[in-house]
Structure 1
Amino acid sequence: MGVRKRQSAELRKEAQKSQAFAKLLNVPSSPRKMRLVVDMIRGKEVFRALGLLEFSNKEAAARLRKCLLSAISNWEAKNERKAENGELYVSTIFVGPAPMLKRLRPAPQGRGYRIRKRANHVTLYVDTIDNKTTKEDK
């Protein structure tokens, strides 16, 4: 491995030390419905995001709250200390489609209408707030 490549790999590893993630796979709701909830918490401080999710009346909010708690505990395990209020924020969060279940519903005159039962995958990254300010300065 060349010197430049090694240096950039070390910088990338150093940046990932303060970052933790959690994935939520095969959630049985459409990606569009999940994105409505995801957009509420993107870029927010994690404890504020937990409050938003707890009092949201969307069904996807409960599942996303569990994923956010998992990401916070992953960060705590990685850094071997508790997360304090105002320290972490949701740096990246995105929703992608999962495999679709296709079913047939009986329709008039011997036809069959196709039912598509959609699902989604959610990936959530949390990072420290001091990294947010240094990234914006560059």
Structure 2
Amino acid sequence: MQAQATAKFVRVSTRKTRLVAKNVVGLPVEDAVNILKFTPNKGAAVINKVLHSAIANAEQVPGSDVDALVVKQVIVNEGPTWKRFMPRAQGRATRILKRTSHITVILEES
């Protein structure tokens, strides 16, 4: 049995979020929640929210054991980038890239 949840267009960098995602893959859900709760990154809070959504999705399946769930995969893909400009010295402008992510958490019963 698999359960998954996705958060799209999240305003967090893909590279920074992937560093957090590597820490929870392959762990039981309870351990993953504890690690994410005490990781001081914006990406950790977002992954934690998606993980809780995936757990709620798994609870909807009849005959599933939520305590036996394991984080099978955390996919962090790049979303669209917001392009902004910042004024600089001598009338110039530099480009600011505000990156977004699509985050998918897949859970599996062990």
Instruction: Please report the TM-score for the alignment, with normalisation by the length of structure 1.
Output: 0.75
> Counterpart amino acid of 2:88?
A
Give 1:79 deviation, angstroms.
Answer: 2.8
Give the 3-state SS of the residue equivalent to 2:66 in structure 1: coil
Whole-Å Cα distance in 2 between the matches of residues 43 and 79 of structure 1? 24
What is the root-mean-square deviation of aligned Cα atoms in Å? 1.2
Structure with the higher strand share, 1 or 2: 2
- Point out which structure has higher relative CO (alpha carbons under 8 A, 6+ apart): 2
SS at match of 2:22: helix
> How many equivalent pairs are there?
110
Shift of residue 49, structure 1, vs aligned partner: 0.2
Mark the runs of 5 or more structure 2 residues left unpaired by the alignment: none
**CA-to-partner distance for each residue in 1:22-60, whole Å, 9 max, x for gaps?**
001111111011111101101111111001011111122
What are structure 1's unaligned runs of at least 5 residues? 1-17, 130-138
Q: Return 56-65 or 29-38, whichever deviates more.
A: 56-65
- Following the alignment from structure 1 to structure 2, what is the Cα–Cα distance between the partners of residues 115 and 58? 21
Task: Tell me the percent identity.
Answer: 36
Instruction: Kindly state the Cα deviation for residue 95 of structure 1 after the two structures are TM-superposed.
Output: 0.5
TM (norm. structure 2) is 0.93
Partner of 1:94: 75
Aligned to 2:91: 110
| Greater share of residues in helix | 1
